[in-house]
Amino acid sequence: MKLTIFEKKVLNLVKKIPRGKLTTYKLLAKAVGQSKAARAVGNALNKNPRLIKISCHRVIRSDGRLGGYRLGWKRKMLLLKREGIEFEKNKVKNFKKYIQN
């Protein structure tokens, strides 16, 4: 499985997110120099070859909603709760305070 440059960039940033912190597809896009490629970022994570090793569950939507996850958003939510993150109505409560800058 070979990864494209774009995918590598994204995955490398994602794996650095510390436990209990979050980031968004949009921020990642900006971080790799393509502020409008949030959607493409999501696709990159979807292809994530090491779903187990890379914590792609810490990436959410810019509006605080969870966004997708290969194994289902419920699973994603569980993992986040396990890291001490709280929810309300399918949205992360005060998500801005968890964002990793």
Residues β-bridged to residue 99: 22
Alpha-carbon 52 to chain mean position: 14
Contact flag: residue 80 with DNA (CB under 7 A): no
Of 25, 80, 95, 98, the one binding DNA (CB under 7 A) is 25
Report the C-alpha dihedral over residues 19, 75, 32, 54, rounded to 10 degrees.
Answer: 60
Contact flag: residue 12 with DNA (CB under 7 A): no
Among 77, 81, 49, residue whose Cα is nearest residue 61: 77
Establish whether 95 is a catalytic residue: no
Contact flag: residue 51 with DNA (CB under 7 A): yes
Contacts to DNA by CB under 7 A: 4-7, 24-26, 34, 36-48, 51, 56-57, 59, 61-63, 67-70, 89
